[in-house]
Chains A and B, each alone.
Chain A
Amino acid sequence: MQTIFIVAILALGFLITFQIAKASEYVAVLRGEEKARKQTNKINAFLLLAFLILGLIGVFYCNQQLGGKILGTPASDHGVLVDRMLYITIGLTFIVFIITQVALFWFSFKYQESDTRKAYYYPHNNKLEMIWTVIPAIVLTVLVGFGIFYWFKITGDAPKNSMVVEVVGKQFGWEFRYPGKDGILGKKYFKRVDAAANNPVGQLWEDPANHDDIFLEQEMHLVVNKPVKLVIGAKDVIHDVGLSHFRMKMDAVPGTPTTMWFTPTITTKKMKEDTGNPDFVYELSCDQMCGKGHFGMRGVIVVETQEEFDIWLAGKKPQYYVANPEQDPSAKQVKDTAVVKPLAVTAAIHK
């Protein structure tokens, strides 16, 4: 009922507009087209000026309303660089924006048709054109210079002391693998992926580096002020590791591993205090269209101190033991739990 009502109102409004428009055409013919045309010209010239003024007010109003909702404190060292580059660019482009938009609408208003004015024959001026070739070129050189400088800092090699975490995207969730005590991610091969055999990553168990690797889903823990290098992959389609708080992003491509590194600088706890939001979490979003569940492909990142991190990691069991319970030293002591535990983990994976 409501829909019919809305459609009816729209149709009516449309009809009225059309009738007025048609009538104005007849009126114009009656009153002399030239005169009517000149009047419309004045109205439109005025509207262009009004649009400029209201538009500029709107730009400031919009910034007032929404400016506070963007770009909280960058939570990584690279984030600081990205934000700085962003503010330099905003500053320079805003000046250009104001100058050109004001000129465009002001000229339109000022040089509206008038019987007293003759247009000025001005086909070219090499000097002027030189000026507006060279000045943008200089400004852009500055932007390119800063941009590439920061870009190389961000994409350069990760520091030697960084921790390594493997991140794998799949429809529709995130998997993480920590290298364990040896600091080396064991070899894997996609044809060995077998969730039923508790090997979701496709780890090669014959590689001893795999024996202490820890597998987790949906939640990743990082250490504050310690560089972390993410080794990124995907199982099925292209995903993207998007970390908006850290201002980092990298595609997860099946078959082609990618990497990125950064140093988280603020713990989750500190962020909760700073933002005054007790529910604050760092979120990991999928930024590359990956299918119908794309918009819900959420992971959580916890940034904590080294001690907290160590305690947390100590509570996790290497996937090797989950997949091969007979090798698990703790299982040999308590026979009963060895049967129960892998089942529980399998259930968690299939959840």
Chain B
Amino acid sequence: MSEALHAHPGTAVPHDVHHDEHEHHGHHKETFVSKYVFSMDHKTIGKQFLITGIIWAIIGGLFSVLFRLQLGYPDQSFPILETFFGDYAKGGQIQPEFYYALITMHGTVLVFFVLTAGLSGTFANILIPLQIGARDMASPFLNMLSYWFFFMASIVMLSSLFIQTGPASGGWTMYPPLSALKQAGDGSKLGTDLWLVSMALFIISSLLGGLNYISTILNLRTKGMSMTRLPLTIWAMFFTAILGVLSFPVLLSGAILLLFDRNLGTSFYLSDIVVNGEVLPNEGGSAILYQHLFWFLGHPEVYIILLPAMGMVSEILSVNSRKPIFGYMAMLGSLFAIAILAFLVWAHHMFVTGLNPFLGSVFVLLTLLIAVPSAIKVFNWLTTLWRGNIRFTPATLFAIGFVSLFISGGLTGIFLGNSTIDIHLHDTMFVVAHFHIVMGVASFFGMFAGVYHWFPKMFGRYLNSTLGYIHFWVTMVGSYLIFWPMHYQGLAGIPRRYLDKRGWSSFNGFTDLDKMITVVSIIVFAVQLMFVFNFFYSVFKGRKVTTPNPWGANTLEWTTPIRPGHGNWEGEIPEVHRWPYDYAKDGREFIPQTEPVGEHESKH
């Protein structure tokens, strides 16, 4: 352990002053605005993404608490809701339009604004230049624009919460004709236009970011950093960026066509419609076309969310079990396989739309195929822990929790990917339980692991680890309590998005369960607020980091000063001589990437 606490002598970064190449600092004066607001430093931009993501996560999480109140206590009145939300919660009860607005915003905010921008935006920005040995992104300016487009998207989405007819309420998938017809509901009025504009801005942000990540990884690696010496985090970010760049434009086209249908009288998605007794003129469109366009992004989106978490978990598990990641090439290969397959499975969301059954069967095959690379990853993580010497930092615990949730949620994916079972389970609470575990909570765990692990690098201070342990244990137990029994509701056939099941004789048998889930989700939400408090408190008042490499890790970000300035390294960028996972090799606890391979070193 003592080795871990001090930078190894062999790792000393060359501090030679003669090699002073063009350094950013000192050349132009940094103002508050250029340093913290319109910053082009990838680390600052990463923090901007993270903090904006945290704010959105609080909003999105609060929405879920509100609609859980309705689900758990449909017969009860909460006068405080009326105080805050007025007519939306008439008599202290959440009105249906409001309920649907809440779930729509909960989904949109968490999937796109928190787990896409907040997760991959944060860590791709912070880690890519630091771990590949670059001073910044390939284009710091586009990188800055990427954040500000995200910010504008946020403003537009936020504004839709305050308009008279309320935000979009057609579900986060925004299927037309419901989302295309202003007559179909209040949420389909101005709220949906704002939703579409916000998503368009968000997609621009995502493309600017993604192109930058790809070109940075391909072009700006330091000397000796071959592609197979990249940490798995970087590989994961690389595939994530490729997925985003190839699939987000398809969603953009889908959204634009929807805007046309709504406002210009086109019929891309509309045909044969009689809404509220009014016969519309549209003929020849296909409502299903939108679903193809949406899910062509929507499914890769799941992996856009999950892959960065997988990459960080691989890194954190390896560092903290003091062992190399098991099967680096297999991990890389499975990331690649998942990225390819992600594009070939979108129609499994559409088994019961009247899709040609033969086409359906092809998608069953391709969908279940994803289980193979996923299984490889799980077994490799397990083997990484096996015979390690594991330090349970909060980051490690969240990484282990990620693997547990990924297993649980991944296995239920085998149910849903099988079209025969999907007939019964499609659009039931089973789906809600499945994707919350595997994509929602698991990715959040990956994100938390990343925040706890790289917080010292970001702010030069530690998060309070006792609060971290409480955060982990309550969230872990709570997540399973919330989502495990929810599968049973789905098996019983309860459709999702039902805010009150009392009118149904087949679905009203789970009253106590719904109450339990509501109570637990309130507790879990409260603990997340505690984490947020811990975060902001520790940014200013946390225990200071005193050594450049507090975790005893091999990767390059720990060779920078404790609080790196713009440009990251003070002297030359270090050269890389080995892969990042030489832990426990030849009796050494860890060997940083910057250390040249010794003459007598064993080969692997």
Contacts and interface: CB of A to CB of B under 8 A. Distances in A.
A5 interface: no
Nearest to B317: A108
A190 B267 CA distance: 15
Interface stretch (A122-130, A304-312, A333-341): A122-130
Interface stretch (A41-49, A178-186, A211-219, A319-327): A41-49
Nearest to A90: B415
A166 interface: no
B219 interface: no
B428 A287 contact: yes
Interface string A24-44: 110000000010010011001
Given A140-B372, A289-B100, A71 B492 contact: yes
A235 B181 CA distance: 12
A213 to B, nearest CB: 18
Contacts of B427: 240, 242, 249, 287-288
Contacts of A24: 466
Interface in A184-238: 190-191, 193, 195, 202, 232-233, 235-238
A144 B96 contact: no
A291 B175 CA distance: 11
B274 A151 contact: no
A129 B492 contact: no
B354 interface: yes
Contacts of A155: 357, 360
A189 to B, nearest CB: 9
A251 to B, nearest CB: 5
Nearest to A233: B272
Contact of B421 (A21, A47, A86, A235): A86
B539 to A, nearest CB: 15
B376 A253 contact: no
A163 B279 CA distance: 30
Contacts of A97: 407-408, 411
Interface in A86-140: 86, 89, 93, 96-97, 100-101, 103-105, 107-108, 111-114, 117-125, 128-129, 132-133, 136-137, 140
Most buried by B among A10, A154, A289, A298: A289
Nearest to B587: A118
Given A14-B530, A151-B420, A240 B352 contact: yes
Contact of A70 (B326, B419, B492, B584): B492
Interface in A270-310: 279-281, 283, 285-296, 298
B275 A124 contact: no
B353 A253 contact: yes
Contact of B372 (A100, A120, A133, A156): A133
B276 A171 contact: yes
A101 B404 contact: yes
Contact of A44 (B389, B418, B469): B469
A289 B376 contact: no
Contact of B178 (A190, A238, A287): A238
Interface residues of B, number: 131
Interface in A244-282: 244-245, 247-251, 253-259, 279-281
Contacts of B505: 279-281, 283
A237 B323 contact: no
Contact of A255 (B272, B408, B485): B272
A213 B171 CA distance: 36
A69 interface: yes
B508 to A, nearest CB: 10
Nearest to B389: A119
Given A122-B324, A291-B184, A235 B275 contact: yes
A152 B499 contact: no
Nearest to A130: B330
B78 to A, nearest CB: 8
B327 A171 contact: no
A348 interface: no
A69 B287 contact: no
A146 to B, nearest CB: 8
Nearest to A111: B388
Contacts of B353: 251, 253, 258
Contact of A244 (B286, B506, B589): B506
Contacts of B423: 78, 82, 154, 247-249
A164 interface: no
A44 B181 CA distance: 54
A81 interface: yes
A24 B321 CA distance: 25
A161 interface: no
Nearest to B510: A69
A137 B370 CA distance: 10
B411 A93 contact: yes
Nearest to B425: A86
B543 interface: yes
Contact of B185 (A125, A255, A291, A298): A291
Interface of B: 1, 80, 96-97, 100, 169-171, 175-178, 181, 184-186, 270-277, 279, 283, 285-288, 321-330, 352-354, 357, 360-361, 364-365, 368-369, 371-372, 375-376, 378-383, 385-392, 397, 400, 403-404, 407-408, 411-412, 414-415, 418-421, 423-424, 426-428, 464-467, 469-470, 473, 476-477, 480, 484-485, 488, 491-493, 495, 497-501, 503-507, 509-510, 513, 526, 529-530, 533-534, 543, 581, 583-587, 589, 604
12 contacts: A81-B420, A86-B424, A119-B322, A119-B388, A119-B583, A121-B324, A124-B326, A151-B361, A236-B275, A253-B353, A283-B505, A289-B170
Closest 7 CB pairs of A and B: A244-B493, A255-B271, A258-B354, A155-B357, A21-B466, A119-B584, A44-B392
Given A107-B385, A118-B584, A202-B274, 6 more contacts: A104-B404, A122-B326, A124-B330, A136-B376, A240-B427, A244-B493
Interface of A: 3, 10, 14, 17-18, 20-22, 24-25, 34, 37, 40-41, 44-45, 47-48, 51, 55, 58-59, 62, 66-67, 69-71, 78-79, 81-82, 85-86, 89, 93, 96-97, 100-101, 103-105, 107-108, 111-114, 117-125, 128-129, 132-133, 136-137, 140, 143-144, 146-148, 150-152, 154-156, 170-171, 190-191, 193, 195, 202, 232-233, 235-238, 240, 242, 244-245, 247-251, 253-259, 279-281, 283, 285-296, 298
